[in-house]
Amino acid sequence: MPIDFHTHILPEIDDGSRNVEMSLKMLAAQREQQVDEIVATPHFYAQKDSVEEFLLRRQRSYEKLKAAMAEKNLDQKLHLAAEVYYFQGIGSAGMIPKLCVEGTQILLLELPFAQWNSAIYADVEKLVQRQKLRVVIAHIERYYEFQKKKEIWDAVMELPVYRQMNAGVFLNWKRRHKAFQLAKDAGTIILGSDCHNMDNRHPNLAEGRAVLAKKFGEAFLQRTDRLTAEVLQ
Ligand SMILES: [Fe+2]
């Protein structure tokens, strides 16, 4: 069963779904694509938010959506999580485990859209080695063009981290060549739609999966599904 690992489907919490109605439409679109397990990953920016406030807002948003889902007989499984934006020192920040996918040690980490430096590497390494978190790097395809010097990129990717890619990149004929390369290098990826709304960033997991199946075969998707299910346990 396909799992959407990266979504902004919770209402009124970030730049994703604007209200419950939009979230329900997004869930209906997911259902049409057989996506019945969804990780909700609202943006968390340490500069703007305290963890406690974020978790409270997320809980309120989730409860509102859950009530509306029950009325519409939508019973998809939602995992509460966050897309945590990098900040210097994140590797030693004690509150980070609270932002993992609920009930797991899995952290979806968004890295800077700029040349990565050794401080970034050191922080990711600490998250993995010292805090013992299982780090999923969000949409790896979005940073690559900024890495004129590839050393840090290579070093980060050599850490035991998981690589998440957005389904949409495989639908973009200008960008998918590089994306196929990244997926191939990864061997196994975690897929997400990174859906924000119902127009330009709508749920599109099934479309992306179809392209991947054609390119790499069904076995590629099976590995993706197995890995995603395994990390969520
Ligand atoms: Fe995102």
- Give CA 226 to chain center in angstroms: 16
pLDDT greater than 90 at residue 159? yes
Q: Per-residue pLDDT for 77 more than 90?
A: yes
What is the distance in A from the centroid of ligand 1 to the CA of 117?
Answer: 22
Q: How does the average pLDDT of the chain come out, rounded?
A: 97
Residue 48 pLDDT exceeds 90: yes
Q: How far is the CA of 7 from the centre of ligand 1 (A)?
A: 6
pLDDT of residue 33: 97
Mean pLDDT of 159-185: 97
pLDDT score, position 116: 98
Give me ligand 1 centre to Cα 183, in Å.
18
User: How many angstroms is it from 66 CA to the middle of ligand 1?
Assistant: 21
CA of 220 from ligand 1 middle (Å) equals 23
Beta bridge partners of 77: 37
What is the rounded radius of gyration, in angstroms, for the C-alpha atoms of the chain? 17
β-bridge partners, 107: 135
Does 1 score more than 90 pLDDT? no
For residue 214, pLDDT beyond 90: yes
> Ligand 1: distance of its center to the CA of 26 in Å?
15
Q: Specify the long-range contacts of residues 79-82, CB closer than 8 Å, at least 24 apart.
A: 79/37, 79/38, 79/39, 79/40, 79/232, 80/40, 81/39, 81/40, 81/41, 81/106, 81/108, 82/41, 82/42, 82/43, 82/44, 82/54, 82/58, 82/108
Question: Domain map of the chain by residue range?
Answer: 3-231
pTM: 0.97
Asked if residue 27 has pLDDT above 90, the reply is yes
Please tell me the distance between residue 82's alpha carbon and the centre of ligand 1 in angstroms.
9
Terminal CA-CA length for the chain: 14
**How far does residue 70's CA lie from ligand 1's centre (Å)?**
26
The reported pLDDT for the residue numbered 105 is 97
CATH topology of domain 3-231: TIM Barrel (3.20.20)
d(CA 38, ligand 1 centre) in Å: 13
CA of 203 relative to ligand 1 center, distance in Å: 12
How far is ligand 1, taken at its centre, from the CA of residue 200, in Å?
14
- 72 alpha carbon to ligand 1 midpoint, in Å? 26
Judge whether residue 176 has pLDDT over 90. Answer: yes
Between the CA of 14 and the centroid of ligand 1 the distance, in Å, is 10
* The predicted structure's pLDDT at residue 85: 98
Task: Tell me what pLDDT residue 177 has.
Answer: 97
- How far, in Å, from the CA of 212 to the mean position of ligand 1? 20
Strands (E) in the chain, as ranges, are 3-7, 37-40, 43-44, 77-80, 83-85, 106-110, 134-137, 162-166, 190-192
Tens digits of per-residue pLDDT, 92-131? 999 999 999 999 999 999 999 999 999 999 999 999 999 9
* Å from CA of 40 to ligand 1 middle: 10
Average pLDDT (11-39) is 97
pLDDT at 75: 93
